[in-house]
Amino acid sequence: MPLWLLLVIVLVTGLGAVTVYDLVQKKHTVLRNFPVIGHLRFILEAVGPELRQYIVTDNDSERPFSRDQRRWIYSSAKGEVNTFGFGTDNDVERTDDYVIIKHAAFPLSAPPGTPTHPDPAWPLPAAKVLGARHGRARAFRPPSVVNVSAMSFGALSGAAIEALNRGAATAGCLHNTGEGGISPHHRHGGDLVLQVGTSYFGCRDDRGRFDLARLVDLCASAPVRAVEIKLSQGAKPGLGGLLPGAKVTPEIAAIRGIPVGVDCHSPAGHTAFHDVPSLLEFVETVAAATGLPVGIKSAVGEDAFWPELAARMVATGTGVDFVTVDGGEGGTGAAPLVFADHVALPFKWAFARVYRAFAEQGLHEDVFFIGSAKLGITENAVLAMALGCDAVNIARESMLAIGCIQSQRCHTGHCPSGVATQSPWLQRGLDPTLKADRLARYVATLRFELARVARACGVPHPGLIDVDHVEVLKPAFRTMTARELFGYEPGWGRPSPADAAAIAALVAVGAPAETAATG
């Protein structure tokens, strides 16, 4: 046999074996979807630091998540080493608005029995009880300060939603449904926050109007812990949602009550209410019918809305139980470029403005605040909690944890990692059980890091970090405290003394999730 023919046979046999292995294995979605050629990604990733050092870019130059950030998320999700060597490669002396967390001279040690590594079974409950201010029948203390943000079935694949829900169940955190309603993929053990958008998917009548009875039935059919009314979102504030027709499968169409294969546009505004008084009436109606805490989610634009909302809550004794502030730089879906880049305030500006409106009315200790927009990176989450967030929601970081490679094809239906697609072939590569474990490990790692930073700052819980623990580097070797930068008054950004004492006691004894979850 000629040597060349033998080499061809060996090569073909080898490629065939690799193809079979890639198609059968479940660890790497990209390899299942793109056998053989998918290995190029991992080869290039392995030699990436050397290539970037001499040829391409540094570790912090890519967006929306840098290479360093993605590496930290991936390694955390996989349970691999997520530390970095040889010091920071950030040029801190030439970086404006660089966040520095100020450790205490006498930091706290971890309470006895605290795990020495991230553990999904180890809780980090929120400092406040959600729904306590208005005495909701089903008020509760969220068992995790890190939760999965709103991403609908439709925007994400069924396999991805299942992985997120299973992972949320393992990590004991909440899973926001997004505005697409509750699908079978949301029913794998994870507790839910039901998001109600302008199209009222899952709780609307045959003419698309809000139907309270259907909402009550939907909440009763699944482990729904709270209801979130979406006013707007960071990706496309003021436009409403958009699900491209390529993603509207028969299953999604049936769940949402819309035509198959046709772009699904949610209206920009709600029809069930039209101003602050009617919004609060709607909130109270839903809360009374379900017994659940009810809140709102919004990007931040118009200034007058938030002071008016807070003042009306004080005047009437009614109001929202929680507020989710979505930064204008966030968003996982399709959006016009001008809306993605220039409409709505970025998170830091947005949240501080909203928090101030409630604090000036004396409501900051009673309302539960949630932040969303790249807060799955530890230093971002620390600053958010210093500004007054009681919990953070993570969206794109959750996608990365279950296999997203930041290809930025979310809007096309051709996501190569099977996360943001409805293609049966592409999503078959995503194994929900394996990816659920990765999501749980990532959530546990972020909680673990937040707890370590809190103790380094001399407080037992990240909810007790305040604006005096954070300093911001400015040009010409100047600095500003976060209190100065955001104009916070003493006491802002922290829970009430009673809540602070309660959460410190829970953390000290290492309360299990089922204990921490109660009011």
- Whether the Cβ atoms of residue 125 and residue 142 lie closer than 8 Å to each other: yes
Annotated domain spans of the chain:
3-87, 146-516
* pLDDT confidence band for 47 (50 / 70 / 90): low
pLDDT at 206: 84
For the segment 130-139, the average pLDDT, to the nearest whole number, is 95
Number of H helices, E strands in the chain: 19, 13
Distance CA(415)–CA(427), nearest Å, equals: 9
pLDDT (tens digit per residue) in 301-347: 999 999 999 999 999 999 999 999 999 887 656 677 788 788 889 99
- Helix H or strand E encompassing 325: strand 322-326
What's the average model confidence in pLDDT over 282-308?
96
450 vs 43 pLDDT, higher one: 450
Tell me the per-residue pLDDT of 485-509, one tens digit each, with 9 for 90 and over.
999 999 899 899 999 999 988 887 6
**pLDDT confidence of residue 61:** 65
Q: Does the pLDDT of residue 510 top 90, yes or no?
A: no
- β-pairing, 391-394 vs 368-372, is parallel
Q: Which CATH number fits domain 146-516: 3.20.20.70, 1.10.760.10, 1.10.390.10, 3.40.50.720?
A: 3.20.20.70
Cβ atoms of 482 and 470 within 8 Å: the answer is yes
Quickly state the pLDDT bin for 516 (edges 50, 70, 90).
very low
Q: What percent of the chain has pLDDT over 70?
A: 92
d(CA 168, CA 146): 10
Query: According to the model, what pLDDT value does residue 333 have?
Result: 62
Retrieve residue 334's tokens: 């399709």
How do strand 322-326 and strand 368-372 relate by DSSP bridges?
Answer: parallel
**Cβ burial, residue 172 (10 Å; 0-12/13-18/19+):** buried
**Which pair of tokens denotes residue 299?**
């990007």
Q: What is the pTM of this model?
A: 0.88
Mean residue pLDDT of the chain comes to 88
In this predicted model, which residue has the larger pLDDT, 425 or 444? 444
Quick: pLDDT tens for 381-391.
999 999 999 99
Question: Which pLDDT score, from 0 to 100, does residue 514 have?
Answer: 45
Reduced to 3 states (helix: H, G, I; strand: E, B; else coil), residue 342 is helix
d(CA 180, CA 378): 29
Whether 53 shows a pLDDT value over 60: the answer reads no
User: Computed over its alpha carbons, how large is the radius of gyration of the chain?
Assistant: 23
Position 434 pLDDT exceeds 70: yes
Quick: pLDDT tens for 338-365.
Answer: 887 888 899 999 999 999 999 999 999 9
Q: How far, in Å, CA of 286 to CA of 89, rounded?
A: 50
Q: CA 2, CA 13: separation in Å to the nearest integer? A: 17
Q: What whole-number distance in Å separates Cα of residue 500 and Cα of residue 513?
A: 18
Residue 243 contacts residue 155 (beta carbons within 8 Å): yes
φ/ψ of residue 20, rounded to 5: -60, -45
Question: Under a CB-based contact definition with an 8 Å cutoff, are residues 503 and 494 in contact?
Answer: no
In the prediction, which pLDDT does 91 show? 72
pLDDT of residue 515: 45
3-state secondary structure of 59: coil
Looking at per-residue pLDDT, the higher value among 240 and 476 belongs to 476
State the average pLDDT over residues 227-233: 94
Rounded to the nearest 10 degrees, the angle between the axes of helix 158-171 and helix 432-456 is: 40
- DSSP class per residue in 106-168: SPPPPPTT--SS--TTS-B--SS-BTTTTT-TT-B--SBSEEE----BTTB-HHHHHHHHHHH
3-state secondary structure of 237: coil
Q: Give residue 92's pLDDT band: very low, low, confident or very high (50, 70, 90).
A: confident
pLDDT of 294 above 90: yes
Determine the average pLDDT of the residues in 34-58: 67
Element (H, E) at 323: strand 322-326
* The pLDDT of residue 127: 94
Q: What is the reported pLDDT for 95?
A: 74
